[in-house]
Amino acid sequence: MLLLAAFIWGSAFVAQSVGMEYVGPLTFSCVRSLIGSAVLVPCILLLDRLKSPGERERAAQMDRKTLWIGGVSCGLVLCAATNLQQIGMKYTSVGKAGFITALYIVIVPILGLFFGRRCGLKVWIGVLIALVGFYLLCMTGGFSLERGDLFLLGCSILFSFHILVIDHFSPLVDGVRMSCIQFLVSGVISGVLMFLFETPSLHGIFAGALPILYAGVLSCGAAYTLQIVGQKNYNPTVATLLLSLESVFSVLTGWIVLHQQLSARELAGCILIFIAVILAQLPDKKE
């Protein structure tokens, strides 16, 4: 389930890139998020029917206020992250976008320091390796970042906050319901921004229906549900490592579908970042 979720997320970078040939980034994010929210509604009803009477009673006792606070908080961060990612992809390749986004795996432990979570030596080594890889991947023509790289780096930082918010709220509420709310919030806010800064058209949305549906139904709806179900009673470190393979799938699908290629320098940067991703997620030895 986790490997399939990583594949869907990685290949969705292609859908996001192709989709913007028909609509603007804010329009794509809006429609995608609303579709993801709608897809999760029947999933919630189905999962409720499969629950035992005891599980239904416990679910009914969950704090609805906490659920909505968690869903709205996740939705606000997710909206900012996905729109930055979508805008950044206008200026860079699918593989590059996937690997820069994957930096959240290294950023999360650093942010955890502010919440009293210490990092081991291997995490800091991973951070240094990732910085070298990011330099090789993005620094072309001197010490300057391209516009798309800055958007994607900001997106990676926001996704790191998104992971921490989910980590706080997911033990307290129903995960699928919270995902449904977060996509609804993200879709509504993206819709407001869409009408303010873009000129959306039904013709463009229908013309790009295939990549939009792929990103909405599979990336938002199915993949997030697979993650929630797959991580149940599973080692979280191994789970995160499996999910981080989305960066590899983004490069492979960009190469196969869009025929995008990376230079030797950029490929070396990708390899270093992926090594850092793996190193940061390796489990520590028990004392």
Structural tokens at position 15: 């859908």
Measured in residues, the chain has a length of 287
Q: Region 18-38: what's the mean pLDDT?
A: 94
DSSP string, 78-147: HHHHHHHHHHHTTSS-HHHHHHHHTTHHHHHHHHHGGGT----HHHHHHHHHHHHHHHHHH--SSS---H
pLDDT digits (tens, 9 = 90+) for 188-235: 999 999 999 999 999 999 999 999 999 999 988 888 778 777 766 665
Task: State residue 141's pLDDT score.
Answer: 58
How many C-beta neighbours within 10 Å does residue 85 have? 24
For all residues of the chain together, what is the average pLDDT? 83
pLDDT digits (tens, 9 = 90+) for 8-21: 988 888 888 889 89
Out of 23-27, 44-48, 229-233, give the one with best mean pLDDT. Answer: 23-27
Of 86-100, 157-171, 214-228, 238-252, minimum mean pLDDT range = 238-252
Q: Report whether pLDDT(237) > 60.
A: no
Task: State residue 60's pLDDT score.
Answer: 63
Percentage of the chain surpassing pLDDT 70?
87
Name the nearest CA neighbour of 88 among 33, 159, 141. Answer: 159
Helix (H) / strand (E) containing 222: none
CB 112 within 8 A of CB 119: yes
Task: State residue 31's pLDDT score.
Answer: 96
Q: Report whether pLDDT(51) > 70.
A: yes
Q: Report whether pLDDT(6) > 80.
A: yes
pLDDT digits (tens, 9 = 90+) for 89-147: 888 877 778 778 878 777 877 887 787 766 677 777 877 888 788 777 766 555 566 78
